[in-house]
């Protein structure tokens, strides 16, 4: 699971259902590999709910023609930040073994 897809599972129930499904479908001795990220403090400036840990973002794109705004398009997305301690619980609590955890792309 790449591209931080895990962040689209917004609730504990969603995350639990994901791990349960993966466990059912994974071959014996198979590997489940995924990436996600923790927020940088500056990223939480949008609308961040600290209780649900969900960041709500809205992007606005304006098309300008002849110096005038001709079209406005908005898109919104909600992303859940799951912190490392929660990930440990999710991984181990669903019967997986954590083989490696990296803090950044350089594997630090």
> Please, what is the average pLDDT of the chain?
85
Nearest of 67, 39, 44 to residue 57 by alpha carbon: 44
The whole-number pLDDT of residue 46 equals 73
Mind listing the pLDDT tens digit for each residue in 12-60?
Answer: 999 999 999 999 999 988 998 888 876 665 555 578 888 998 988 887 8
Question: Between vectors from CA 20 to CA 98 and to CA 18, what angle results, nearest 5°?
Answer: 85
Mind listing the pLDDT tens digit for each residue in 52-104?
Answer: 989 888 878 889 999 999 998 888 888 898 888 888 899 999 999 888 887 77
- Other C-beta atoms closer than 10 Å to the C-beta of 80 total 20
* 3-class SS of residue 50: coil
Nearest of 1, 15, 5 to residue 77 by alpha carbon: 5
Does the global pTM surpass 0.85? Answer: no
- Other C-beta atoms closer than 10 Å to the C-beta of 55 total 19
Domain ranges, ordered by start, for the chain: 5-93
């Amino acid at each position: 699971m790449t591209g931080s897809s895990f962040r689209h599972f917004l609730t504990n129930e969603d995350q639990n259902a994901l791990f349960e499904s993966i466990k059912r479908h994974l071959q014996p001795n198979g590997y489940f590999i995924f990436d996600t990220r923790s927020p940088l403090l500056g990223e939480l400036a949008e609308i961040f709910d600290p209780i649900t840990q969900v960041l709500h973002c809205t992007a606005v794109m304006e098309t300008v023609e002849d110096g005038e705004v001709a079209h406005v398009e908005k898109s919104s997305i909600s992303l859940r930040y799951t912190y490392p301690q929660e990930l440990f619980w999710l991984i181990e609590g669903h019967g997986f073994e954590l083989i490696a955890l990296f803090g950044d792309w350089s594997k630090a």
